Amino acid sequence: MSSPRAPEDGQGDGDPPRDLRSVLVTSVLNLELLDEDLFRGTHYWVPTTKRLFGGQIVGQALVAAAKSVSEDVHVHSLHCYFVRRGDPKVPVLYQVERTRTGASFSVRSVKAVQHGKPIFICQASFQRAQPSPMQHQFSMPTVPPPEEVLGHETLIDRYLRDPNLQEKYRVGLNRIAAQEVPIEIKLVNPPTLGQMQSMEPRQMFWVRARGYIGEGDIKMHCCVAAYISDYAFLGTALLPHQCQHTVRFMVSLDHSMWFHAPFRADHWMLYECESPWAGGSRGLVQGRLWRQDGVLAVTCAQEGVIRVTPQGSKSKL
217 is catalytic: no
Contact 218, 178 (CB under 8 A): no
User: Which one of 13, 217, 230, 266 is the catalytic residue?
Assistant: 230
Read out DSSP for 130-170?
---S----PPPP----GGGS--HHHHHHHHHT-TT--HHHH
User: 196: burial class by Cβ within 10 Å (0-12, 13-18, 19+)?
Assistant: middle
Instruction: Select from 262, 183, 252 the least CA-distant residue to 222.
Output: 262
252 is catalytic: yes
Written as one letter, the residue type at 220 is M
**Backbone φ, ψ for residue 155 (5° rounding):** -65, -45
Instruction: Select from 310, 187, 316 the least CA-distant residue to 246.
Output: 310
User: Which one of 252, 256, 275, 292 is the catalytic residue?
Assistant: 252
**Backbone φ, ψ for residue 12 (5° rounding):** 65, 30
- Contacts (Cβ under 8 Å, ≥6 apart) of 12: 292, 293
Contact 225, 289 (CB under 8 A): yes
230 is catalytic: yes
Written as one letter, the residue type at 152 is H
Give CA–CA dist 245/240, Å, rounded. Answer: 10
Contact 291, 297 (CB under 8 A): yes
Coil, strand or helix: which one is 30? coil
Length of the chain: 317
Strand 38-41 to 32-35 pairing = antiparallel
Contact 248, 49 (CB under 8 A): no
Give CA–CA dist 20/63, Å, rounded. Answer: 21
Catalytic sites, residue numbers: 230, 252, 302
